[in-house]
Structure 1
């Protein structure tokens, strides 16, 4: 699920994204663009925290986020990384209007376009192009989830690391190593050993 996000203009970026993913009448696009709220989220801040009821989702114009869980001892479990041109959302909690079990953390100073969930529900009734957009979002999320589960079951630690480098070729220098280790389901020491072996 990709769109062109090279422009510095966030609304132009999103317009290009819609044209690529779910093209519709110009008046529908204009209506939707008016609902978008540009927001800056700084590194270390949360878009959603555990215990919040999500009432919004967002499009990443610039920046980097991760989905994570934190257990009762404070240990972090990184579920996924989200880069430019992706949506961030605690979806199941949002549609059920229940408290989120995950955090969505900004790993860099990030520029996003927020969308109010109730406004989305209203605009979604207007034209079939919005159903196309929703299906594209859900299909992408399902594909990511399916691949993630398969990799954790079938690939060893080294293979998961290589797969991470292929899937996120720019992230190793942007993300702390303990977060990558958490995403791969291994310890930071094991990750360090794998990286050392790969660099020889």
Structure 2
């Protein structure tokens, strides 16, 4: 793991002007953590107290119904923030799981430390607004796609948005993201290949 924090600092600096004094705080408050493949970063029912930046690896947001069926909400690859944010800010139990699909390396900050960081400099508000605007846009587009597009079209969009993921994750996880069965996904793949 890159303990220089370079990927995190670079990511933040692409979005905001980050003063050196704030870089020092990042180095102090964000902690490097390794998450094993299959481990949950957040579990349903847990009140989230931290969030993280993904340096290396892959996560998914998912729901599991009372029959044990999994529904993948989204994928969180490298150079993304990872959070059950609405549950964290309301200090309510999370309704979703966040699962590591690969061995992953993250930089994690406690929510209490994040609030202190935000109060200390206005640049953090700009970072937060930018990240939340992007997340809202992704959520809105995904909801529209699930409601209006055929499975084949959703699969094509998935391949465009996540060009490397088909080789990194199992077919049933992709199917749960697309809202179809693994058998339907196989048919779509076969049709696309021919």
Fold in common (TM above 0.5):
yes
TM-score normalised by the chain length of structure 1:
0.94
Q: Secondary structure at the residue paired with 1:53?
A: coil
- Which residue is 1:146 aligned to? 140
Task: Please list every run of 5 or more consecutive structure 2 residues that lacks an aligned counterpart in the other structure.
Answer: none
SS in 2 for 1:172: helix
Shift of 1:19: 1.1
Q: Distance in 2 between matches of 1:59 and 1:28?
A: 16
Residue number among 156, 162, 169 corresponding to 2:163 in the alignment: 169
Secondary structure, counterpart of 2:5 in structure 1: helix
* CA pair 162-10 structure 1, distance change in 2 beyond 3 A: farther
Judge conservation of contact 2:58–2:75 (CA < 8 Å) in 1: yes
1:24 deviates by 2.2
Q: What is the deviation of 1:79?
A: 0.3
Are the counterparts in 2 of residues 10 and 61 from structure 1 also a CA contact under 8 Å? no
Q: CA deviation at 1:181?
A: 0.4
Instruction: Give me the TM-score of the superposition, normalised by structure 2.
Output: 0.97
Question: Structure 2 CA distance, aligned partners of 1:47 and 1:164?
Answer: 24
Contact 1:10 1:113 in 2 (8 A): no
Asked whether the 8 Å contact 2:3–2:32 carries over to 1, the reply is no
Q: Is the 8 A contact 2:51 2:110 kept in 1?
A: yes
Partner of 2:36: 42
Note closer, same or farther for the CA distance 1:142–1:74 as it changes in structure 2 (3 Å cut).
same
Alignment match of 1:64 (pick from 43, 46, 58) = 58
Alignment-derived partner of residue 6 in structure 2:
12
Residues in 2 aligned to 1:60 and 1:79: alpha-carbon distance in whole angstroms: 17
Once residues 134 and 80 of structure 2 are traced to their aligned partners in structure 1, the CA distance between those partners, rounded to angstroms, is 10
**RMSD, matched Cα:** 1.1
Corresponding residue for residue 87 of structure 1: 81
